[in-house]
Structure 1
Amino acid sequence: MSPIADRYRKHADAFEAKVAGTAPDDWERPSPCEGWTARDVVRHIVDMHAVMVRPLGRQLSPAPSVDEDPLSAFRAARGDVEGLLDNNEVAVSEITSPAGSMTVENHVDRVVSDDMVLHGWDLARATNQDDTMDQDDVERIWAGTSALPPQMLEQMRTPGAFGPGVVVFGPEVKVSSEAPLQERLLGMIGRDPHWRPGS
């Protein structure tokens, strides 16, 4: 298994655990993503899995919708992406993405894999689960994000810059430089680390 496939599985396992840990009555609770419920967070992640297979002329396999069964919808979507990563010929093939040409596995790694880490926090915070991110992931994502040129960060905060309806980061939330790194990362990507449902 490649490091990218291994990292994807780790992130998918963690996200799936949060989906499975969401109580049936909690799916319509608000999330830290403005205008999104807990269910919408999972819908976004499933939709982003569809984005991963689309450059190959594929669609996600038939599965229950997120409205019907969020857990089954996610499990089916991750199965499709794992299928890409497990096929070395496909994984290393070049595709064209909004961020330029890259391999399938790098597209997965740069987009949906880390998306599950960040949106895992959203889902956990919305549904009162443990929202602690893996420290290695926090350090890695912080290092990559904080090194981006200001113009690239600005582009990532611009709705639609990477496709219709796509918002990568929200406006930065100011967080103390003395705050834990997870909180500083959340602020950088546009989350209030102190957000709670009803706040």
Structure 2
Amino acid sequence: MAQKLSGYHRALDLFEGVVGGVARDGWDAATPCSGWTARDVAGHMIGGQHLIRALATGGTPPDVNTDPGRYCTGDPLLAWRTARKETEAELTQQALGRQVPFGALGDLPLSDFLGGYALEPLIHTWDLATASGQPDRLDPDLVHHGFATAHIIGGALRAAEQLGPALTPPRGADEQTRLLAFLGRKSF
């Protein structure tokens, strides 16, 4: 099971590194996520850990899209690490086998959900890096797998207005640029 979650953990590590690199006065910076600041993106990801914990324990998942900054009060890095640690403690073998809803795909084991969920911290790593002036190159393996996930869930996210329209990347663009364009983010 650990191998199955390696991409998820690597994406969380990548996000954590960027959270740790945001300057103290950088949390109000605008991000590529329309209307969200750096604090909102971090809060959304912290809330995402609460959501995963709820899925793991059978609780009610919180709304992590409305006022996400509420999850990121005080020290953002500490808030992230605390939420991540608490969530990790709940990811038992039994919890990872729990069936969770995955939109039009129906129910699937939480471990499979987390495999696809790696796209979320991956893309928000880029959003936060861009907003805070940090290097924005992402792990190519995570990008490749994230792109496959994006093709599966992109339509449903667009229908729910959680994702903007795809952009046309420049000819010969690398996979990261194509993924970002598919998700409506302009990196070119």
Is the Cα contact below 8 Å between 1:52 and 1:107 reproduced in 2?
no
Is the Cα contact below 8 Å between 1:183 and 1:193 reproduced in 2?
yes
Aligned residues: CA RMSD: 2.2
- CA deviations over 1:90-148 (Å, ceiling 9, x no partner): 2112223434211122222222x2211111000000001111000111122223434x4
Task: Give the match for residue 176 of structure 2.
Answer: 182
Is the Cα contact below 8 Å between 1:177 and 1:184 reproduced in 2?
no
Name the CA distance, whole Å, in 1 between partners of 2:24 and 2:111: 34
Is the Cα contact below 8 Å between 2:16 and 2:77 reproduced in 1?
yes
Give how far 1:53 is off: 2.2
Task: Give the match for residue 72 of structure 1.
Answer: 78
Task: Give the fraction of aligned pairs with identical amino acids, expressed as a percent.
Answer: 30
Task: Give the match for residue 57 of structure 1.
Answer: 59
Name the CA distance, whole Å, in 2 between partners of 1:114 and 1:144: 7
Task: Give the match for residue 15 of structure 2.
Answer: 15
Is the Cα contact below 8 Å between 2:11 and 2:121 reproduced in 1?
yes
Structure 1 position 114 matched with structure 2 position 108: no
Aligned counterparts, 1:188-199, within 5 A: 188-194=182-188
Name the CA distance, whole Å, in 1 between partners of 2:8 and 2:85: 11
TM-score by length of 1: 0.80
- CA deviations over 1:32-86 (Å, ceiling 9, x no partner): 11111111110111122222122312789xxx9412121111111211332233x
Name the CA distance, whole Å, in 2 between partners of 1:143 and 1:97: 16
Which of residues 102, 119, 132 is equivalent to 1:127?
A: 132
- CA deviations over 1:149-188 (Å, ceiling 9, x no partner): xxx633321236xxxxxx1x22111212311111111000
Name the CA distance, whole Å, in 2 between partners of 1:51 and 1:88: 18
Name the CA distance, whole Å, in 2 between partners of 1:59 and 1:155: 19
SS in 1 for 2:6: helix
* Aligned amino acid, residue 181 of structure 1: E
SS in 1 for 2:107: strand
Is the Cα contact below 8 Å between 1:138 and 1:185 reproduced in 2?
yes
Task: Give the match for residue 93 of structure 1.
Answer: 98
The 3 A distance-change label for structure 1 pair 107 and 84 is farther
TM-score by length of 2: 0.84
* Aligned amino acid, residue 27 of structure 1: W
Name the CA distance, whole Å, in 1 between partners of 2:148 and 2:19: 28
Is the Cα contact below 8 Å between 2:119 and 2:149 reproduced in 1?
no
SS in 2 for 1:157: helix
**Gaps (5+ residues) in structure 1?**
161-166, 195-199
SS in 2 for 1:95: strand
The 3 A distance-change label for structure 1 pair 13 and 154 is closer
Name the CA distance, whole Å, in 2 between partners of 1:143 and 1:16: 23
Task: Give the match for residue 102 of structure 1.
Answer: 108
